[in-house]
Amino acid sequence: MSQTQPDWRIDAYRDMVRIREFEETSAKLYTQGLVGGSLHLAIGQEGTIMGTVGALASGDQITMTYRGRGHALAKGADPFALFAEILGRQGGTSRGKGGPMHIYDPEVGVMGTNAIVGAGIPIAVGLALAAKMEGASRVAMTAFGDGAVNQGAFHEGLNLAAIWDLPIVFVCENNLYSEMTPIKDAVRNDSLTERAQAYRIRAVTVDGNDVEAVREVAEQAIARARAGEGPTFIECMTYRYVGHMLGDPETYRSKEEVQSWKERDPILLLREKLLREKAATKTQLDAIEAAAREEIAQAADSAQKSPEPQLEEALDDVF
């Protein structure tokens, strides 16, 4: 078999499959009662994640939400440590003290998922301020939902980034719902870009399920940030197939609506395109999928064997 082209889309495909596998495996662990609390999955949103986070350099930093294990994977986190964290084990990214909503992996630039809607936005603005103060070329990115644009932290964070021209990319993952509330009941704006434009921040809406389209605008935004040209806001139109969290009865949307989005699945779209353009063969893509499945299954397996933390560990890391 011939070598694949050095085409970023192949890597993106691999990572999108890894994220989906990770999320689906997480759902299984949750259903078996092995994960505490709530679990918010990003299945369906992989195009947005890989288009944005996938375009960052390794030294760049991100904050995101409770729906953020996929972003951590895209940024280079170890799936074993992520599984171990959602299982509350010693091998976890926070040694089991954070959980699925609190993922930190500073070595790969994951500066925190957040269980408070909007809270990660000003924190990422602070990461960008730090980069600017150091004269470093790194960029900050923060991913949040359509619901977060109604939080004060969003508005204060955007304004500060705008007046200080900070190297940051705001990624709004518009999946049309905040929990059970449809976006039309939450905002009057036709487009959420209006919210950013109000602060004189460049803003663009993109098809979040088209990873190439997302990647293109993300690359421009990142390049501008790195060049000292200030923040950009990207609204990615996407959709989550699973409820807000596992166990959500999903009374607020129809099966047809979910189905219509599945037909525009980001992984499927990329696969078809790669095949159509002969950028990859079916065999290659199948092999990538099989390898991803294997890697994730092994990571989940090892994580389940990771020991429980010692009781005394509950008392350290407070200050």
Partner 1 sequence: MSEISYAQALNQALDLAMAADPKVFVIGEDIGHHGGVFGVTKGLWEKYGAQRIIDTPISETGFLGVAVGAASVAFRPVAEIMWVDFTLVAMDQIVNQAAKTSYMSGGRVKVPLVIRTQEGAGRGNGAQHSQSLESMFAQVPGLKVVAPFDPADAKGLLTAAIEDDGPVLFLEHKLLYNRKGEVPEGRHVVPIGKARVRREGSQLTLIALSRMVAYAEEAAAELAKEGIDAEVIDLRSVVPLDMATLEASLRKTGRAIIVHEAHQSFGWGAEVAARLMDSCFYDLIAPVQRVASKDVPFPFNRTLEAFVMPSVAQIVATGRSLMNDY
Distances (CA, A) of 161 to 60, 121, 168, 217, 219: 16, 10, 7, 19, 19
Distances (CA, A) of 275 to 132, 266, 278: 42, 14, 5
| 163 lies in the binding site for partner 1 (CB under 8 A) | yes
Q: 3-state DSSP call for residue 309?
A: coil
Distances (CA, A) of 263 to 44, 135, 248, 257, 271: 11, 45, 22, 10, 13
Bridge partner list, 140:
61, 168
Which of residues 88, 147, 157, 243 is near ligand TPP by CB under 6 A?
147
DSSP secondary structure, 275-307, as one string: HHTTSS-HHHHHHHHHHHHHHHHHHHHHHHHSP
Q: Choosing among Mg ion, ligand TPP, partner 1, none, which partner's interface includes residue 179 (Cβ < 5 to 8 Å by kind)? A: ligand TPP
What is the rounded distance in angstroms from the CA atom of residue 237 to the CA atom of residue 70?
Answer: 17
Tokens of 180: 């059970």
| 178 lies in the binding site for ligand TPP (CB under 6 A) | yes
Which of residues 10, 35, 121, 218 is near partner 1 by CB under 8 A?
121
Among 15-23, 70-78, 127-135, 183-191, the segment contacting partner 1 (CB under 8 A): 127-135
Q: Are 143 and 171 in contact (CB under 8 A)?
A: yes
Among 70-78, 112-120, 221-229, 309-317, the segment contacting ligand TPP (CB under 6 A): 112-120
Which of residues 130, 198, 204, 258 is near partner 1 by CB under 8 A?
130
Which of residues 57, 116, 268, 291 is near ligand TPP by CB under 6 A?
116
| 65 lies in the binding site for partner 1 (CB under 8 A) | no
- State which residue, 44 or 79, has the beta carbon closest to partner 1: 79
What is the rounded distance in angstroms from the CA atom of residue 169 to the CA atom of residue 143?
Answer: 9
Measured N-to-C along each axis, helices 211-226 and 8-31 cross at an angle, to the nearest 10 degrees, of: 110
- State which residue, 175 or 232, has the beta carbon closest to Mg ion: 175
| 284 lies in the binding site for ligand TPP (CB under 6 A) | no
Q: How is residue 119 annotated by DSSP?
A: T
Q: How is residue 141 annotated by DSSP?
A: E
Tokens of 311: 């009781």
Mask 70-109, x = binds partner 1 (CB under 8 A)?
----------------------xxxxxxx---x-xxx---
Distances (CA, A) of 222 to 51, 53, 181: 12, 10, 31
For the segment 28-87, give every residue that binds ligand TPP (CB under 6 A): 65, 67
Q: How far is the CB of 42 from ligand TPP (least distance, A)?
A: 8
Which of residues 70, 112, 243, 266 is near partner 1 by CB under 8 A?
112
Q: Classify strands 140-145 and 177-178 as parallel, antiparallel or unpaired.
A: unpaired
- State which residue, 13 or 239, has the beta carbon closest to ligand TPP: 239
Which of residues 46, 85, 146, 289 is near ligand TPP by CB under 6 A?
146
Q: Choosing among partner 1, Mg ion, ligand TPP, none, which partner's interface includes residue 248 (Cβ < 5 to 8 Å by kind)? A: none
- Alpha carbon 192 to its chain centroid, in Å, reads 19
What is the rounded distance in angstroms from the CA atom of residue 125 to the CA atom of residue 83?
Answer: 28
The closest residue (CB) to ligand TPP is 145
For the segment 149-178, give every residue that binds Mg ion (CB under 5 A): 175, 178
Residues interacting with ligand TPP, by CB under 6 A? 65, 67, 115-117, 144-148, 173, 175, 177-179, 244
Residues interacting with partner 1, by CB under 8 A? 61, 63, 92-98, 102, 104-106, 111-112, 114-116, 119, 121-130, 133, 140, 152-153, 156-157, 159-160, 163, 316-319
